[in-house]
Amino acid sequence: MSGVDGKIVAITGASSGIGEAAARELARRGAAVVLGARRTDRLDALAESIRADGGRAEALDVDVTRRDDLDRLVARSVERFGRLDVLVANAGIARIAPVGDLDVDDWDAMIDVNLRGVLHGIAAALPVFREQGRGHLVTTVSTSGLKIVPGQAVYAGTKNAVRTALEALRQESTDGVLRTTSISPGFVRTELVDHVTDPEQRAQVQRTMSELGIAPEAVARAIAFAIEQPDDVEIGDLTIRPTTQG
């Protein structure tokens, strides 16, 4: 199967930013989307909007730090649409501070959402993919893991851990059943940095994102590109950034 039309795609972190844009783009191309996020008011509105435009969408409350929630997301996909073709593990948070600030609670939060949340998704989806004989894992990582800068040690560490886990999984899965894709966005106009604790730093990063960032729809098209390839073609890593990003 190639193309996006007719595929069943579950997306975490779907209530805003890249997740929302991916949901709209994939639904517009004919995929049925199963949307998971914590902000259910926004999620329900998104699903209703997609259905109003003639698409197929389901929404449910998902906190990726809870393994049972990922099991429910995958189960809902199979129950509602008969299978799951793609899991887009997109949920993520960013906290920016020097390691010496010892913001251990923020470290734990990033590890739980950015890394453990992806692993929970793999644990939920992989048995279904194996049983079906086909499946695709797409993860949203970051250019922060490609260019290491001060203040992003733990954030970049979680993203690189996911990149490493996906590459190992790829090498363990060369029987043609599983495809894996890591998408590394650069500056994107999303809410990712809105919860940076230090107000001055938060304002600075928000300005950078606003002035230099690309639209989340650009990343959504990259996700669709990886998904639409024939089953024997795997887009392993894809970096997408503004042309003005250094």
| Catalytic residue annotation | 155
CB burial readout 18-29, b (16+ within 10 A) else e: bbbbbbbbbbeb
Residue 241 · residue 186 · CB < 8 Å: yes
- Contact yes or no for 37/13 (Cβ under 8 A): yes
Residue with tokens 């995958």, as numbered in its chain? 74
Task: Give the whole-angstrom CA distance, residue 161 versus residue 139.
Answer: 12
DSSP, collapsed to helix, strand or coil, labels residue 86 as strand
20: which 2 tokens? Answer: 């929302």
Residue 19: closest CA among 1, 53, 43: 43
Cα distance between residue 220 and residue 17, in whole Å: 10
Q: Which tokens belong to 1?
A: 């199967």
**3-state SS class at 117:** helix
Taking the mean position of all CA atoms in its chain, how far away is CA 129? 18
* Alpha-carbon dihedral sign for residues 16, 17, 20, 24: positive
- List the 8-12 sheet strands across, edge first: 56-61, 32-37, 8-12, 86-89, 135-140, 178-185, 237-240
According to DSSP, residue 180 is labeled E
